[in-house]
Structure 1
Amino acid sequence: MSFSASCIETAAKRLGCSYKEIYQRMKRVGLIQTYLKRLDPLHTQSREYVTDEVVSTLLRLEDKMQKGDSV
């Protein structure tokens, strides 16, 4: 749980928005329930690396959702 919270916080800082907004965006595309659970082993990686992965995945999933593709 703390790993997910850390990912939400760092992604919010990177994207310049509140952690509440990022949480809602991640929840909307299923990122918290699926992807962050698979990322947990990466907690040994640098915070910057994990943040890059989380942000790029969020943006990719949002783009797919906007285009009507299944997420």
Structure 2
Amino acid sequence: MGDRWRLDVDRSLCIGSAQCVHRTQGFFQLDEGRQARPSEAETDASEIILEAAENCPVEAIYISLAESGEVVFPPED
């Protein structure tokens, strides 16, 4: 994967389970409200980030291509 990704967390959905924090070792962190947020808005594409998004219990993590905005996750219906 040579792409750059933009990471976003829908704070209205996030329940603070911290699974993304534990799975990605530094790509996400919990804020003072115990909601996840990306450590950096953009990062290199990574399977570990995709797995964290896929395993978020409320599907609050969104990934798009940084350059084009094309959605990587969640898949469009």
TM-score by length of 1: 0.30
Task: Judging by fraction of residues, say which structure has more helix.
Answer: 1
Task: Judging by fraction of residues, say which structure has more strand.
Answer: 2
TM-score by length of 2: 0.29
**Greater RCO (CA < 8 Å, at least 6 residues apart):** 2
